[in-house]
Chains A and B, each alone.
Chain A
Amino acid sequence: MIYSIKILWLLLKTQIRSQTQYRLSFLADVFTTAIFSSIYFLAFALILQRFETVAGWTLGEIAFLVGMTETSFAFMDLLFSGFDPDSFSPMVRMGSLDQFMVRPVSLTIQVLGSRLILRRMGRVLEGLAVLAFGIVTTQPDWTWLKTFYLPVVLVCQVICMGSIFMMGSTITFWTVERIEAVNILTYGGNELMSYPMNIYPRWLLFIFTYFVPFIFVNFYPTLYFLDKPDPLNFPVFAPFLTPLVAIGMALAAYWFWGYGLRHYQSTGT
């Protein structure tokens, strides 16, 4: 375990070093990423000038929702760069994965360490800015439990979306080509959780409550943080299911990744 973490850190350190070599172009990259990422929230803020609220949520409240999921998604995107299906698929195709497999270190560690796209920091910053805007405009009533629970939720979100990333990459073992459908759960999941989820059709809500329980990852915790009434009448503990969902998804991802690897070993590419 310690050995694995040591190797991971060593791998990441080398990544950081080579990416920050040219400081100015690196900072410019972070900055453009931040601008690019804010485009969708910006568009939403603009449309609210005509409509004022959506499903009873103000711009500030939406900003809280968006800020949470943006921050954790972006952080996950940074940390799990190696498992980004976009970069994992070429790894399978070009045989880098074979290279990893002939080394005596856990493959997961090597994939995580293979890539760290630092410019994604820009999106983390954007997410944090939107979250800060949301908190300042909504002025939530902070209790000690809320203060403690907020970072827990953020960590759980990172785990949930990281698991999805891993599962998405695992599918590449069968398809080789990058599968755009994975975006449904990664980028799509982020988008889905950016708005109050009761606006979606019933069947969709059902899927994201009982199969991929995204509803407990951002929507319910946010209802709790902002003391908003629950439009769907779930039990009162619904906002506190987040850690459970995170653990469940992490386990599922771990299992599926192992299963995919076994498949890869039996078919190659």
Chain B
Amino acid sequence: MQAFLKIVGISARQQMTYRTALVAGLFTNLFFGILRASLLIALYQGETSVNGMDVGGAITYVALSQAMIAYLTIFGNTEMGRTVSDGSIASDLIKPVHFILLWLGRDLGRSLVNFVVRGLFFIGLFSLFYSLYYPLEIGRWFLFFVSLIFSWLLNFFWRMLVNLGAFWSPDIQGFARLAFGFSQLFSGFVLPLRLLPDWFSRLSNWTPFPGMMNHPMEVYLGIYSPSQLLGAFGHQLIWLFILVFLCLALFRLGIRRLVIQGG
């Protein structure tokens, strides 16, 4: 545990040193947020509520999802995969912390900094341009944060799963791009799932992706009925178990392969 916290701390400190990059990222998110909000406002033109979501809700959805880009690493990355391809994974494998936990710590440290700098600061800036909804009940805030933690974990293990592909293929870039593209679409990041056709959101519920973005957003907006709320958390938990299991299993297979073939 001590080692894990240390990893988180170092990674967070490291992330703090990317001063310009953080500020730049913040403004990029802001710009795209404004574009996305403008598009939704133009789409709503005259309509008060579409499938249970009004304009204000849609704008708040955009704000939150933009704010969480860096925290959740929605666009994905292939950092871990690269350590497999270039062999630097060796120095991680000899550390006395489980490999996946090691990366969890690294990503968590970075995410915590991103949560503050590119999350909270973002909301502050974005609310200068658009008025956002803020839940008044403590309970909903609580549920939102719990759901957000789950969605962070789902994103992490999804990313890990994609990266584990590097044990089998020397170049996972193309495959990873496509995988993260799909997770962006089906998680409701590109556009809120609720506003897409019903068949599409039903389809997406068979994937882990809505739990990576759409659920916490809708929990925040308070759109879910109690039973839907339960369903959303259940969905997140079940998929978290599945992804963790898959990652552990694939990691074990991959390591065996790496050891046998000598990288």
- Asked if B90 is an interface residue, CB under 8 A from chain A, the answer is no
Q: Is the CB of B35 within 8 A of A46?
A: no
On whether the beta carbons of B190 and A39 are closer than 8 Å, the reply is yes
Which of A36, A42, A182, A200 meets B38, CB within 8 Å?
A200
CB distance from A35 to the nearest CB of B (A): 6
| A contacts with B, residue count (CB < 8 A) | 37
Query: Which of A2-10, A26-34, A74-82, A151-159 forms part of the interface with chain B?
Result: A26-34
Contact B181 A47 (CB under 8 A): no
Task: Name which of B27, B174, B182 has the most chain A CB atoms within 10 A of its CB.
Answer: B174
Taking CB atoms, residues of chain A closer than 8 Å to B39 are: 54, 195, 199
- How many residues of B are counted as interface, with CB atoms below 8 angstroms from the partner's CB atoms? 37
Residue of A nearest to B184 (CB): A39
Supposing A54-B43, A175-B20 touch, asked if A47 and B195 sit within 8 A by C-beta, the answer is yes
Docked pose: A216 CA to B132 CA in angstroms: 32
Are A43 and B191 also in contact (CB < 8 A) when A36-B178, A55-B45 are? yes
Q: Answer yes or no: B127 CB below 8 A from chain A CBs.
A: no
Task: Pick from A44, A184, A200: contact of B27, CB below 8 A.
Answer: A184
A183 near B28: Cβ-Cβ < 8 Å: yes
Interface string of A170-207 (1 = CB under 8 A from B): 00000101111111100010011001100111001000
In the complex with contacts A44-B191, A55-B45, A188-B178 CB distance below 8 A:
no
Q: A50: which of B35, B38, B197 is its contact (CB, 8 Å)?
A: B197
Residues of B near A46 (CB, < 8 A) are: 191, 196-197, 200
Judge whether B31 is part of the interface by a CB distance below 8 angstroms. yes
The residue that A54 contacts in the complex, of B25, B42, B129, B181, with Cβ under 8 A, is: B42
Given A42-B185, A54-B39, the answer on whether A177 and B18 have CB atoms closer than 8 Å is yes
Could you give, for residues 198-234 of chain B, a 1 whenever the CB lies within 8 Å of some chain A CB and a 0 otherwise?
A: 0010000000000000000000000000000000000
Interface flags, B14-29, vs A, CB<8A=1, else 0: 0000101101110110
Task: Determine whether B50 belongs to the interface, using a CB cutoff of 8 Å to chain A.
Answer: yes
Known: A183-B28, A199-B41. A177 touches B178 (CB 8 A): no
**In the complex, A5 Cα to B27 Cα: how many Å?**
38
Q: Say whether B28 contacts A181, CB under 8 Å.
A: yes
Contact A177 B21 (CB under 8 A): yes
On whether the beta carbons of A33 and B177 are closer than 8 Å, the reply is yes
Query: Residue B196 contacts which of A43, A175, A204 (CB distance < 8 angstroms)?
Result: A43
Q: Tell me whether A43 and B185 are in contact (CB under 8 A).
A: yes
A179, A199, A204: the one within 8 Å of B42 (CB): A199
Q: Which of B102-148 contact A (CB under 8 A)?
A: 129
Inter-subunit contact B196/A51 (CB<8 Å): no
Expressed in whole angstroms, the minimum distance between the Cβ of A18 and any Cβ of chain B is 14
* C-alpha gap A187/B32 in the complex (Å): 9
Known A39-B184, A51-B43; judge A191-B35 contact (CB<8 A): yes
- Is A39 within 8 A of B185, CB to CB? yes
**A119 contacts the other chain (CB 8 A):** yes
- Those of B148-201 within 8 Å (CB) of chain A: 174-175, 177-178, 181-182, 184-185, 190-191, 195-197, 200
Query: Is A40 an interface residue when CB atoms closer than 8 A count as contact?
Result: yes
Report which of A32, A54, A180 forms a contact with B174, defined as CB distance below 8 A: A32
Q: What B residues does A36 contact at CB under 8 A? A: 177-178, 181
Q: A179 and B20: CB pair below 8 A? A: yes
User: Is B91 in the interface zone, CB < 8 Å from A?
Assistant: no
In the assembled complex, B255 has its CB within 8 A of some CB on chain A: no
Q: Does A233 contact B (CB under 8 A)?
A: no
Q: Establish whether residues B35 and A181, one from each chain, have CB atoms under 8 Å apart when the complex forms.
A: no
State whether B42 touches A55 (Cβ < 8 A): yes
Check A50/B195 contact, CB under 8 A, given A179-B24, A180-B24, A184-B27: yes
Q: A-contacting residues of B (Cβ < 8 Å)? A: 18, 20-21, 23-25, 27-28, 31-32, 34-35, 38-39, 41-45, 47, 50-51, 129, 174-175, 177-178, 181-182, 184-185, 190-191, 195-197, 200
